[in-house]
Chains A and B, each alone.
Chain A
């Protein structure tokens, strides 16, 4: 009976105060058992993608305290600067609750309590860390600091690659399960935004998951960021008609993607500065030579921002197909990269004669074969 009451109580305290806590703000208290030098505590938070010291206080009798209010939970850290010059810090999730750091002399090893997001983060990390450790171990075994070749057979390398892929898939499953089971959790939204919405996510696959979040989370700042990316990524999803867009070729002539209806188009996103794009170009050249008479056009969209670097790379790599760019770079708001949620390159899309995207991110020495299989 007693047990039942306790569970009910903690359930109530857990569910009720979300709005209440938002009004209350946060109180962070720190207690050091054995900090023997003068020191200062800093609360560091993220403002517009930059870390800023939001607050600082001199530690007195081993204790510090910060109070304030945040609009929504967020990553933050407490840093301790000692007069000796030594510093350490501990990341945590700041939210409007009473958060306590209990430490001996270093904040790094402090026990954090009171932040629900932080507790959830630690729970999730505990599940995924065994796999990240395994991945790191393999990566260390197969790479050398001095960049000399590693003495491993092709079979060993393949096995290692397969293992890493399987661990990555297992981590993803853990994250997906965590998100599905925590629809009211900021940490779940954070995980969704940072890990499920990775470089090449499939919009149709992940958007149902997003709509399982509570309305408050969906309309939070982080929620809005996520939905923006989902909507942009929908535009590069398989089965979706490519958006109308224009770019300019070397002669200053406007290129409109709709002008290639009736043909297969490999739309290749690249830039002169992008190592992996340049490394892939020989494969694209091979594909072009083999398939240009089979109703395939290749269009390379460069995210360069100067004509000289763009033109230089096209000449150096001897690319014979259509080259276009707006020379505005990749980060411009409302640019093509933003419209299609392209955050890293190389990336490509294969578009069919009707203008529908039928494949994405085809890469490698077997690019001609991969393309040939898709072109009718």
Chain B
């Protein structure tokens, strides 16, 4: 059997600059790659409008709100390890008195899962916040749902 490795980001990204302000400056899209009959990787991608950034999953208390990815528990799969993120931009921020890590333009978070069934839907939520060079938007939660076929 030939397995096809497709990464289909659901079409959230790139709806044009005129879109930006009605929603948020951060546009999420999701994809899944089945790496074997028993394993898959979930991809969570954030595309940010120019000048906006979101924060890493790893930030100490007392600073900006870190990105938090939660998966809804299901009998169909188990999480393998933690959610991986690429190397962020890290800066010592005097304002917060700590090192702060963030992403610009776009970032893909990845979560490996072990499958107990061939088909299922992975659901969860992403908590995040975003700032540009003069203001910050309140922390928001984005729900996702990715079908594995």
Contact = CB atoms under 8 A, between A and B. Distances in A.
Contact of A79 (B11, B17, B97): B11
Contacts of B22: 75, 193-194
Contacts, number: 96
Nearest to B9: A87
Given A278-B95, A343-B137, A344-B136, A89 B14 contact: yes
Interface of A: 42, 44, 49-51, 53, 75, 77, 79, 81, 85, 87, 89, 91, 121, 125, 132, 136, 139, 147, 193-195, 198-199, 271-279, 303, 308-309, 312-313, 316, 329-331, 337, 343-346
Interface of B: 4, 6-12, 14-19, 21-23, 50-51, 61-65, 89, 91, 93, 95-97, 129, 131, 134-140, 143
B55 to A, nearest CB: 9
Nearest to B142: A50
- Most chain A CB neighbours (cut-off 10 Å) among B11, B63, B97, B134: B11
Nearest to A193: B22
Contact of B10 (A51, A199, A337): A51
**Can you list the 6 inter-chain pairs with the closest CB atoms, starting with the nearest?**
A330-B138, A344-B135, A79-B11, A274-B136, A278-B95, A91-B16
A274 B96 CA distance: 10
Contact of B62 (A50, A75, A272, A346): A272
Nearest to A343: B137
A155 to B, nearest CB: 20
A51 B143 CA distance: 11
A18 B84 CA distance: 51
A275 B137 contact: no
A147 B88 CA distance: 13
A85 B129 CA distance: 32
A273 B64 contact: yes
A42 B11 contact: yes
16 contacts: A44-B11, A51-B10, A53-B10, A79-B11, A85-B4, A85-B8, A89-B11, A194-B18, A198-B21, A273-B63, A275-B95, A275-B136, A276-B134, A337-B138, A344-B136, A344-B137
B93 to A, nearest CB: 7
